[in-house]
Amino acid sequence: MSEKNREDDLVFSDEAEGTQEFDSQRAEENADAIADAMELRRKKGALKKTTEATPVNRPSVKDIDMGLTGKLIPRTEEFERVTDIPQDASYEERSRMLRKARQKKVDSFRLKEAEEEEQKPETEDKPHKGQHEFEQFLDEDKVLADILQVKNNLTVRMAVLLFTGVFSLLIAIANDFALPLVKTFDKVMNPSTFLFTNTILGLISIAFSYTVIFEGTKNIFRGRPDCDSIAALGMLVNVIAGIVTLFEPSVVRQTFFHVYTSAAIFGLVFNTLGKLMIVKRTERNFRFVADDFDRYALVTVDNEDTAGKFTKGVLDDFPELATMRKTEFVKDFMRNSYSTDMSDDYAKKATPLIIVAGIAVALLSFVFEKNTSGTTEKLFNMLAVLSGTVSMCSSLALMLIVNVPMGRAQNKYLQYSGVMLGYSAVDRFADTNSVLVDAEQLFPNGMVDFKSLKLLGSTKIEDCILMSASLASQAGSILSPVFYRMLRGKTEMLLPVESYIYEDGLGLSGWIENKRVLLGSRELMENHSIDGIPTKAKEKEYSKGNTVLYLSVSGVVAMLFVVQAKASRSVSRWLCELGKNDVATVVRTVDGFITKQYLSELFGCDEERIKLLPFRYHKDYVSETGYTPKVSSPMLCSGHFPSFAMLLIGTKRLKQIAALGVAVQAGALALAIGITAVMTILGTFGQLNSTFVLIYNLAFLLVTLVAQHKRV
């Protein structure tokens, strides 16, 4: 052997000895580790024997009374071939005979009976300035204090205006009709006192209504006149005419000259009355809104593409789609409560016309008045004609044509947990032609139940119910409350649904515990080639005229549900009202038995005004109706369909009623201009005394209220 080979052998021998020593050491360490582990296990075993572990009580579906007693349809298939049952036996007789033959088999499927569940009975000025906006619930006391402060101010103003108005009216009536009167206020005997008294009464009224006068006048010069502008115009013209006439009081003795202060003051009275209605309505709404309840804000689907997709096929017009969105807080409460209304739009057009008409008729009087002599009398007569024309054209009912019907509507809406904050709700929702709702909102709790159930496959009844409940709850089916009651609220027992889809008009398809689960109509089962579907004759026998749903598990039919749905009278009424008002209803549903025809027959409404939302748009539905912490809306409710529909139809009716009131006031304005112009040309304007002007306006106020007196 060469020297090199010997060296290699020595090296290999040394390495082998080192490896053996390392392996021996590692074996000893492993033996120690194993010994330690065994000792630890022994100690744990001893601990288990000496320590009592608290049992964990997990709910089992077998421990729950699902209320199925009397609802299970007997399984007769395997017995009908061997049991001697008369063919002409009734369903009840056949069931009784078969029950005896298969008692043990049935007992293995039945759940334990428990006590029956207890039956639940079914049972100022427009104060937009100087007030705090309701931005959080912590501001409740502050905002309410502001509202009450404005209410108190308006009440004081009303008391003062009623005093000055009635005082001035009594003086006017006594002078116009030559009634007995204290000589101090007789315009013939004491013209200076008569003028001074009326002017002082006018100034007092202005002092207590300074905000109306200031804001109304300012809006005239800004080119945006409103209801305050008409009231301010009448008051200012009359007071200025009275002050000017004080320099020549003897002109009051003339038959052609009249003071119309009482009519102007009553214009402020009714202006204040309208504002009191607004503030009282705001107070009632605020107390309700600030209370604790489920808030659903009425909103519109502003995305035109989304609204168009939702309403395609049911609308021929541009979609104005409204829906509800759950929220915790409704923003812009004060802004919506004191929003402008149709009367302000009317005032914006009428105020310039009144000014022009007053000036024009006054100029005509300079030419056609025959009872005046000299330029001075003609000028004073022009002042009287100007104030008379403006007073006659100024509507007393302007602040009431919206607030009276809105007050009646509010009392009704609050009874159904609905709130309309202001006329901005009419502006925003009156043109609604479609609504977006969930089927659950059409079927309140208790309106859907299982009439009976039929086990068709080998899957245990408990598993069938759990799978059905899990799929229905995950998808948001109207059957969810039914399963919730069956499981006694033990939602923790529901199985996770990996994924699901809704096949439009057929039913649900999902995966539970790696099993394909279908819950839907017979057509759904046939489309998926499910085995074990009973014949149509059997299905009819089981259903007894009700709706049938099937559950299949892993390609085999497992259970049949006989569903009984009832229509709520209030839901039926308002669903039909929507149709009568040309409002289409778009329904989101995942229940295979719900079709347009089914809803139409059940609720008695027009099938053409109903659309079922396709499943591909359900995500868009969630984004449009999903919960949001804060939202701005002029209307809110508790989430019930009747209150939702009631508010929407209310906006349409209020718009019609307000338009009718505006039309009456426009007619009164045109007639007033015509009367004053004709009588001026005939030289008989002096016959239009202060009492006549006030009666004229009160008459049209009464006509307006009578014309608007209809159900909101």
| Confidence band of 17 (pLDDT split at 50, 70, 90) | very low
Residue 4 has pLDDT above 60, yes or no: no
Does 9 fall in a domain? Answer: no
Q: Do both 418 and 464 map to the same domain?
A: no
Q: Are the beta carbons of 467 and 36 closer than 8 angstroms?
A: no
Give the long-range contacts of residues 2-7, CB within 8 A, separation 24 or more: none
SS3 at position 310: helix
pLDDT digits (tens, 9 = 90+) for 26-70: 455 555 545 554 554 454 444 444 444 444 454 565 556 666 666
Q: Do both 422 and 342 map to the same domain?
A: yes
SS3 at position 617: helix
Given the DSSP bridges, would you call strands 434-438 and 448-455 parallel, antiparallel or unpaired?
Answer: unpaired
Q: Do both 473 and 372 map to the same domain?
A: no
Q: For 179-193, 229-243, 601-615, which range has the lowest pLDDT when averaged over its residues?
A: 179-193
Residue ending a domain, choose from 548, 565, 582: 565
Does 614 fall in a domain? Answer: no
What percent of the chain has a predicted confidence (pLDDT) above 70? Answer: 81
What percent of the chain has a predicted confidence (pLDDT) above 90? Answer: 69
Q: Do both 319 and 187 map to the same domain?
A: yes
Does 77 fall in a domain? Answer: no
Q: For 98-102, 455-459, 566-570, 591-595, which range has the lowest pLDDT when averaged over its residues?
A: 98-102
CA distances from 701 to 188, 654, 698 (A): 32, 18, 5
Distance CA 528, CA 691 (A): 84
Q: pTM of the entire structure?
A: 0.80
Does 17 fall in a domain? Answer: no
| Confidence band of 445 (pLDDT split at 50, 70, 90) | confident
Q: Do both 471 and 426 map to the same domain?
A: no
Neighbours of 536 (CB within 10 A): 9
Does 583 fall in a domain? Answer: no
Distance CA 396, CA 95 (A): 77
Which residues span the domain enclosing 514?
448-565
Give mean pLDDT, residues 281-307. 93
Q: Do both 415 and 334 map to the same domain?
A: yes
Q: Are the beta carbons of 600 and 583 closer than 8 angstroms?
A: no
Quick one: pLDDT at residue 254?
82
Structure tokens at 418: 């609905």
Strand partners, 516: 511
CA distances from 430 to 285, 322, 582, 654, 704 (A): 20, 10, 12, 8, 21
Q: Do both 378 and 248 map to the same domain?
A: yes
Give mean pLDDT, residues 574-598. 95
Distance CA 204, CA 199 (A): 9
Residue 105 has pLDDT above 70, yes or no: no
Residue ending a domain, choose from 521, 548, 565: 565
State the residue for tokens 């502001």: 146
Distance CA 339, CA 128 (A): 9
Does 570 fall in a domain? Answer: no
Q: What is the DSSP letter of 113?
A: P
- What is the domain count for the chain? 2
Q: Do both 312 and 176 map to the same domain?
A: yes
pLDDT digits (tens, 9 = 90+) for 326-340: 999 999 999 999 999
Quick one: pLDDT at residue 29?
52
Quick one: pLDDT at residue 333?
94
CATH code for position 476 = 3.40.1110.10
| Mean per-residue pLDDT of the chain | 85
Query: What's the one-letter identity of residue 461?
Result: I
Distance CA 611, CA 309 (A): 11
Query: What's the one-letter identity of residue 702?
Result: L
Residue 408 has pLDDT above 90, yes or no: yes
Q: Do both 422 and 456 map to the same domain?
A: no
Structure tokens at 82: 């061997």
Distance CA 196, CA 389 (A): 22
Give mean pLDDT, residues 260-281. 96
Distance CA 189, CA 674 (A): 34
Q: For 32-41, 502-511, 641-650, 667-676, which range has the lowest pLDDT when averaged over its residues?
A: 32-41
Q: Do both 169 and 294 map to the same domain?
A: yes
Residue 524 has pLDDT above 70, yes or no: yes
Residue 241 has pLDDT above 60, yes or no: yes
Rounded to the nearest 10 degrees, how much is the dihedral formed by the CA atoms of 480, 574, 331, 327?
A: 0
Q: What is the DSSP letter of 683?
A: T
Q: Are the beta carbons of 508 and 522 closer than 8 angstroms?
A: no
Q: Are the beta carbons of 157 and 204 closer than 8 angstroms?
A: no
Q: Do both 190 and 288 map to the same domain?
A: yes
Does 483 fall in a domain? Answer: yes
Q: Do both 278 and 352 map to the same domain?
A: yes
Strand partners, 450: 563
CA distances from 441 to 83, 89, 295, 505 (A): 47, 43, 15, 19
| Confidence band of 106 (pLDDT split at 50, 70, 90) | very low
Strands, DSSP E only, in 160-311? 295-300
Rounded to the nearest 10 degrees, how much is the dihedral formed by the CA atoms of 171, 173, 177, 180?
A: -50
Residue ending a domain, choose from 508, 533, 565: 565
